[in-house]
Chain A
C-alpha cells in the first residue's frame, strides 16, 4: 500500500493523518509535509499513525527530524499509536522516551490542552 497523507488544524494543534507504508520510498513525502507545516507556522503537530501498516528507520528519521524542527520553535511533535508492531520499533530504538505517544487523538488533545 502506498502512503496517504492529510492534515487539519484544531486550535493550536495540527493533526497529521498518515495511512499506509512509511519506508525509504515514501518517507520523503512525509518529510516534505512536516517541513511545509513548520514553515507555515504550525509548531504543534500530532501525527496519527493508527492506519500505518509499516514503519522503518527511514520513517523514524523523518519523525525525529520533524521533532527537531518544531522544538527549534518551542513546539511539539507527538504521536498517536496503539499498534504493537509499530510501537515495538519505537521501543527497540529507545524513541518511546523522545516522543509523547498517545492511545487516541482525543487523549493527545486533552494532554495538549493541559500543557497549554
Chain B
C-alpha cells in the first residue's frame, strides 16, 4: 500500500490544489480516464465541505487528505476537525424536492454529500463531535501505472 498525505489550511483556494493532486495520483494509480472527472469532483466536494466547516468552527486547524493505492482500489480519505453532528442534522432536513425552500448553507452541505454519494463508487461518511471523515474509493489497476 502506497500513501500520499496532504494537509492544507482551510482556504478555498487550496481546494483546487487538492483536486489536482488527487486526480494526478488517481491517474498514476491506474484509475480509468473516464472516472477521473468523478474523482476530481468528489474530492473537491469533500474538501470544500471541510473548508466551509473549518471556517465556521476552527479556521486555524488544517484539513487532511490521504490518497491510497490499496489492492486494486484508489482510496481517498478527507478528514476535518469541525464538529459535524449539526451538519448531519441539516443534511437530514434537506429536501431535494424543494431546493428553493432551503437555507443556502444547508443546501450546499446537502448537495455536496449528495454529489459525493452519486459519484464515488464506494463512500463512507463518519461524522463525530471531533470532525468528519469521508472515505471514498474507485477501482484502479491492480498494479497501477507507477508507484504512488
Interface residues of A (CB under 8 A from B): 21, 23-25, 54, 56-58, 60-61, 64-65, 67-68, 71, 85, 88-89, 92-95, 98
Contacts and interface: CB of A to CB of B under 8 A. Distances in A.
A57 B51 CA distance: 13
Contact of A56 (B41, B96, B104): B41
18 contacts: A23-B15, A23-B44, A24-B12, A25-B13, A54-B40, A56-B45, A56-B115, A57-B45, A57-B114, A58-B108, A60-B111, A61-B107, A67-B100, A68-B100, A92-B115, A93-B99, A93-B115, A94-B96
B57 interface: no
Interface residues of B, number: 26
B49 to A, nearest CB: 8
Contacts of A65: 104
Contacts of A93: 96, 99, 111, 114-115, 118
Interface string B28-48: 000000000100110011001
**Helix, strand, loop or mixed for chain A's interface?**
helix
A89 B108 contact: no
Contacts of B118: 88, 92-93
Given A54-B40, A56-B112, A58-B108, 10 more contacts: A21-B16, A24-B15, A25-B15, A25-B16, A56-B45, A57-B108, A61-B107, A71-B100, A92-B118, A93-B96
Interface in B95-111: 96-97, 99-100, 102, 104, 107-108, 111
Contacts of A23: 12, 15-16, 44, 48
Contact of A61 (B13, B40, B111): B111
B119 interface: yes
**Helix, strand, loop or mixed for chain B's interface?**
helix
Which interface residue of A24, A54, A67 has the most chain B CB atoms within 10 A?
A24
B52 interface: yes
A45 to B, nearest CB: 15
Interface in B67-114: 96-97, 99-100, 102, 104, 107-108, 111-112, 114
Given A24-B15, A58-B108, A93-B114, A64 B100 contact: yes
Contacts of A24: 12, 15, 48, 51-52
A18 B127 CA distance: 35
